[in-house]
Structure 1
Amino acid sequence: MRLLVLGGSVFLSKAVAADAAARGHEVVAVSRGRSGAAPDGVRHVTADRDGPFPEGLAAQELDAVVDVSRTPSHVRKAVAAVPGAHWVFVSTINVYADDADPGGPGAGRLREPERGDVDGAGSPEAYGAMKVACENLVREGAASAAVVRPGLIVGPGDPSGRFAYWPARMRRVLDDGARDVLAPGDPADPMQVIDVRDLAAWIVDLAERRTEGVFDGVGPASTVGAILAEVARGCGAEPRWRWADRSGLEAADVRPWSGERSLPLWLPRPEYDGMPAHDAAPALAAGLSPRPVADTARDTLAWLRATPDAAVTGLTADEEAEVLARPGRGSDVEV
C-alpha cells in the first residue's frame, strides 16, 4: 500500500506512519517540520500546508491517505489533489455539540461546521466546528472514506501531558514515598482512554481494508477509579487515594482536565457526563483492539524516565499538598 500521512512527525500521526512502515507499506509523511522527525522507514516531506499541495505527491498513485488536520483549507486542498485514494480522517469527539450526551455517530448532534480557518486552539467549540467541516470535505470529495473520532488519546509521546500526570505522580509514590494522592471527583465517574499505538494500528487497518463509515475511536467504558487503579498497578505503586469532590476542588481553585493547576481526568458533572462515555462497540467490532490501561501506564512511566523534558501537565507537588491539607478535602475511597 502507498500511504500518505498528512502529519507523521508527532504523536498519533507519527504512530500511524511508524506502524504502516513496520508492516512494509510505502509511507510518505508530510509535515511542516517544526515538531519532530518522521519515523525510520518513512519518507519525510516538509511542506507548508498553507501553500499549494505538493505537486509531486498529487501526481503519485496513492492507495490511502491519513489526515489529522483541524484546518478546513488544508483538507480542502488535499482532497482535491488526491481524490482517488481511500481517506481515513482523524476527527474528534469534540464535533459533538452536547458534552453531556454520549450519543455517537448518527445519534449525537454535531456542531455547526466552521468552514473558515480560525484559531481553535483555546476553544473546543471552534476546534470541533472546524473538524465537522473537515469531515464533510473528506466524505464529499474522496472516493471512499472512514472518519475516526477519538476521545482521550494516551501513551508514550503524548505532547499534552494529561495522562502522563498520573504515571508521573506514581513515580513520586515510588521514588519519594509520597503515597497520599489527590484523586478527582467520584471514582465511579465514567472515563475512557485509548492508547495511541492501538488507535494508530487500527487506523492503518482501516486504510488497508478501505473501511468506510464513521466511528468513535474510544476505549471501552470505564471509570476514573478503575483507570487510576490500573495506572497504579501498571506502575507498581501503592498510593493512598484521597478523593475530592467538585465543590472541594473548585474551592481550592483546582481546574479540570489539563493545564496549570489542573487535576487531569477530572471533568465537572453533569455537564460533561457524555464526553468520556461514548460507545466503543462499533470501533471494537471494526477491529480496534485496546491494550490494558496498566500496560499503557507502565510504558508511559518508562518514557517519562527516559525523557526528562517530556510534557506533564497538572498540579505541582506543592499545589497538591496545599489541596490535601485543606479542611473538608474529601473522603478516602478504596478502588
Structure 2
Amino acid sequence: MTDVLILGGTGWLSGRVARRWTEAGASVTCLARGGRPAPEGVRLLRADRDDPGAYDEAAARDWDEVVDVSSRAGHVAAAVEALAERTAHWTYVSTVSVYADDTTAGADESAATAEPAAPGDEYDYAREKSAAEASVRTALAQRAAIVRPGLIVGEGDPTDRFGYWVGRFALAGDGPVLVPDVPGLGVQVIDVDNVAAFVHEVGRTGSAVVANAVGDTLSFAGFTALAREVAGHTGDLVAADPDLLAESAVAHWMGPRSLPLWLPDDLPGSATRSNAAYRAGGGRLRALRDTLERTLADERARGLDRERRAGLSHAEELDLIERVLIG
C-alpha cells in the first residue's frame, strides 16, 4: 500500500488531494493543527508547524509521497530537513505568483522567479513560495514535482472570487450588473478538482515536472457571457471606467469592495501563462461551463446575497451603477 503524508490536508485543495489518494487505495496521513477535521478515511497527525518537533513523529517512518502546500518558507524548509530522506517523492504546490515578471504574455516555467525570501524578511507571498521551491529542489532534485497553480476555482472556494460573477448574475436576474470596462482583460482559471487530480498524478508517477497548473486563457467578456448564460441573467451589463472604479475605492482582483478577476492594465502577462507542461504531464481541464454550474449551485446553497470575502455588496454595486448611469 502507498503511504502518503500531506502537510495540511484539511483545507480546500489539500483536502481534495487527500481524498484523491484515499480513493486510489493509499494510506493517507494529514499533519495539521487539527482545527478542521481530516477527510474521511484519513489519519490526522496533530502538529503545529511552528513547533521545533512538529515532524518528529512523521520522521520516524518512511513515506512514498509527501505533499506540501504551505506558503511559509520556514515551514517548508523545516519539513524538507526532517523528511526528505524518509520519502521517495515530494510534491510541492507553489503558485504562478512565484514569477518575477507579469508583463510577458504566454510565459512558461522557464521564466525567472522572485528573489527567495530570507529568514526574518517581511512576509511576501511570491518570495516565500520562491524560497520554499528552492528548499524542495535543493534537497530532493529529481524526486520532486513543483506544481504552480493559477487561480483555483470551483465549489467550496473560500476566497469568493470566481463565484462572485455567476452568483451576482443569478442574484441580479433581469437587473443590471456592474463590470469593469476593460476590453483587453483576460481570465485564466483552473478547477480545484483538476489541480487535485494533477497533484495525485505526479505523485503516483514520481514525476519531477515543474508545471503551471492553469487553464486556457479566455477574454473577460467571454467569461462573463458564459457566466450570465449559466445564471440565466437577462439584465444589462453596466461597464464602469477603471478611473471611476479607482476613484470609488473599488479594488482589483480580490477582497472586500472589489471586482474579482479584474487586473491592473500594467500586468499583460497575467492570465496568459503557458499550460503546455501541465497538459504534457497528464493535466486535464474541466469544461468551464461545468465548473460554473457547480459553483452556482454552491453559491445558491451558501446564499447569493451573503457577506462575501471578495466582491461588492449588492448595495455597493447598485450605488456604483447609478453613478455610472448618471455619468
- TM-score of the superposed pair, with normalisation by structure 2: 0.91
State the match for 1:104 in structure 2: 108
* CA shift for structure 1 position 283: 0.7
1:69 partnered with 2:70: yes
Aligned positions, number:
319
Q: Is the 8 A contact 1:221 1:279 kept in 2?
A: no
Query: More deviation in 307-316 or 57-66?
Result: 307-316
| Partner residue in 1 for 2:293 | 298
Q: In the alignment, is residue 326 of structure 1 matched against residue 323 of structure 2?
A: yes
Instruction: Tell me the residue number matched to 1:216.
Output: 212
- Corresponding position: 1:127 with 2:94: no
By how many angstroms is 1:55 displaced? Answer: 2.4
Counterpart pick for 2:98 among 83, 95, 98: 95
Are positions 1:205 and 2:204 aligned together? no
Give the Cα–Cα distance (whole angstroms) in 1 for the partners of residues 220 and 295 of structure 2. Answer: 18
Which residues of structure 1 form unaligned runs of 5+? 121-125, 331-335
- Alignment of 1:43 with 2:43, yes or no, is yes
Query: 1:146 is matched with which residue?
Result: 145
Matched to 1:157, the amino acid is: G
RMSD: 2.0
How far apart, in 2, do the equivalents of 1:301 and 1:164 lie? 7
Conserved in 2, the CA contact under 8 Å of 1:150 and 1:217? yes
SS in 2 for 1:142: helix
Equivalent residue number for residue 6 of structure 1: 7
Match of 2:278 in 1: 283
State the TM-score, normalizing by the size of structure 1. Answer: 0.89
- CA distance in 1 between partners of 2:200 and 2:158 (Å): 22
- In the other structure, the counterpart of 1:169 is 168
Could you tell me which runs of 5 or more consecutive residues in structure 2 were left unpaired when the two chains were aligned. none
Between the aligned partners of 1:211 and 1:233, the Cα distance in structure 2 is 39
The Cα of 1:191 is off from its aligned counterpart by 1.4
Q: What letter matches 1:116 in structure 2? A: P
Equivalent residues of 1:97, 1:111 under 8 A apart: yes
Distance 2:28 2:326 in 1: 52
Change (3 A) 1:290 1:310: farther
| Separation in 1, partners of 2:257, 2:152 | 21
Give the Cα–Cα distance (whole angstroms) in 2 for the partners of residues 187 and 169 of structure 1.
20
Q: Which residue of 2 aligns with 1:228?
A: 224
Name the aligned partner's letter for residue 11 of structure 2. Answer: V
Percentage of pairs with the same residue: 38
